[in-house]
Structure 1
């Protein structure tokens, strides 16, 4: 990896079964897919969402790969299309954040994709994958997110928690999910 990505490795993510490793580095927007067992790169593709891929996440069901870029764009791909070879086309590009994506995660059921940037105030969004739309009604201008440094879904996705630059941990209930 270090020989093919100038500037070293920027971000990595494993497939849910641990068989594949997705990695990106440097400023070239290239993402590599590695077969962990054989220790070989099986595919390299270009993430067209920005100059530099800053985050990669894979859905727990293995269906989706999401990338976040330095331009604030989050691209959603089908994992099968990425692994198949060639240059995969994004299913959807979310352009709701204007600064580099610093946090990116799917919920446990692969229904939601959350993304944030710590470089701009209240730059956090949640997308519904079935409709491929960002929730327009949350967060609102009154949600005290500040500069989101990190976030996590609870194991059953009943809660979503944020950590911000003020040292606060905010906890929100997602009523759609019964289990915490």
Structure 2
């Protein structure tokens, strides 16, 4: 049985009793009041930092070891990565899973990071790839970022959210331009399973003007794979 300790950096000493959990991944909430740790039961335990008491735990949804846990920038959401090849999002307050797991990696997921605005998730995997995800839809953005030739062991966003750094067991760190790696046409075609309307386009893709389509027919539906190739301004 292991334990987890919280240290006072200024005093160079432990704060209170040890947490009764053998953790390999931990994360503080943005306000510093809550600590999230993985457990040997493939769940995430939440702890009150002031009292060192366990205040909750997520259900055992992962089917293998949780390798990473991280809070969203606003503290409302937890993301967990696992050797079961998936990432799961959780309502931190209710400790309930949000929607279906993020699937696509072909091997265990080793690392996960939120973008500064909380809208995008980056994951690294033992399949040697980095992937980007839309947090709201839980769908993959663009194609996998390939370049590592061994397990990816860590990912992080730059302060502006436009760059992701990944590092791995191939003894390299790589920088990725997030905006340049996303093909808007392919991403939209993958994401939209039904027809778009002009109004829906404006709600879901506000930065991208839709050209050559009547603004006077907001209810008119179209399929992005057909329209985007001639009407999407890159």
TM-score by length of 1: 0.80
1:55-74 matched pairs, under 5 angstroms: 55-74=68-87
1:132-171 matched pairs, under 5 angstroms: 132-139=138-145, 143-147=146-150, 148-171=152-175
C-alpha separation in 2, matches of 1:129 and 1:162: 19
1:27-46 matched pairs, under 5 angstroms: 28-46=41-59
Q: Which is helix-richer, 1 or 2?
A: 2
Shift of 1:68: 1.2
C-alpha separation in 1, matches of 2:168 and 2:66: 23
8 Å Cα contact 1:29-1:47 kept in structure 2: yes
Coordinate RMSD, CA, aligned: 2.1
C-alpha separation in 2, matches of 1:9 and 1:36: 15
Shift of 1:72: 1.4
1:13 is matched with 27
TM-score by length of 2: 0.63
Distance change >3 Å, CA 167–CA 111, structure 1 → 2: same
Shift of 1:4: 5.4
Deviations 1:28-86 (A, max 9, x none): 1232110101221111232302232221111111121011122111101122221xxxx
Task: State the SS of the aligned residue for 1:93.
Answer: coil
C-alpha separation in 2, matches of 1:33 and 1:165: 30
Q: Which is strand-richer, 1 or 2?
A: 1
C-alpha separation in 1, matches of 2:89 and 2:174: 27
8 Å Cα contact 2:69-2:81 kept in structure 1: yes
Which deviates further from its counterpart, 144-153 or 72-81? 144-153
Task: State the SS of the aligned residue for 2:93.
Answer: helix
8 Å Cα contact 1:78-1:91 kept in structure 2: no
8 Å Cα contact 2:114-2:120 kept in structure 1: yes
8 Å Cα contact 1:74-1:94 kept in structure 2: yes
Poorly superposed stretches of 4+, deviation over 3 Å:
1-5
C-alpha separation in 2, matches of 1:40 and 1:17: 17
With a CA cutoff of 8 Å and minimum separation of 6, indicate the structure with the bigger relative contact order.
Answer: 1
Deviations 1:102-139 (A, max 9, x none): 1111111101111112x3333x2110112221114342
